[in-house]
Amino acid sequence: MRLPARPPKLLQSLLPQCHWSLPNRQNKIYLTFDDGPTPEVLPVILKTLDTYKVPATFFCVGENMQKHPGLVKEMLKQNHAIGNHTHNHISGWRVKNKTYFENVEACHKVYKSKLFRPPYGRLRASQANELKRKYKIIMWDVLSYDYDKKVLPEICFRNVIDATKSGSVIVFHDNVKALKNLEYALPRSIDFLLKKDFVFDVIK
């Protein structure tokens, strides 16, 4: 099953406060991972990144960072960046703004970052307007769909290599349900994109 790797233009237009890609003249692209740190998956990701010597940005859940501080240290030791992904992986569409902001702040207390990504990409305009005062809100323009078990590993790989262009923000997931697709698609995607002369960088 092939799903569109790029977010709809309409959605992007509804949230202009967010960064959907990061245009640049150096052919840089940005590899990102959501939901971790996860002890069953993060070591696989870090080993792959180290093999190819590429950096990445991890949007981490606060409670996961509290549970696994050693994994947080390992990410930082390898010079990767960390962003806020709320404390409990909550959807901005399902809770009141006050509750949402408190959850984002709880994650910030665990690890202070100026980067934020809403779980599921679900964020009200009113929430984005408030959060942009403190955070750089990072969405994406390339979604691998590694988390969807109905999507074959080969399709995850094709999603990434077909949609990536200079400035792209690519999303994989640091969670157990993504592991099978991740193990296949991540190294192949990195290898392919390096051969196309893309330069991987962290989001700042």
| Whether residue 35 lies in the annotated active site | no
| Tokens representing residue 20 in the block | 């959907």
Nearest to 85 by CA among 96, 77, 72: 72
What is the distance between the alpha carbons of residues 197 and 1, in angstroms, rounded to a whole number?
29
| Whether residue 173 lies in the annotated active site | yes
> Could you say which of 19, 89, 108, 173 is catalytic?
173
DSSP secondary structure, 46-101, as one string: HHHHHHHT---EEEE-HHHHHH-HHHHHHHHHTT-EEEE--SS---TTTS-HHHHH
> Could you say which of 34, 35, 146, 174 is catalytic?
34
Query: Which active-site residues does the annotation give?
Result: 34, 173
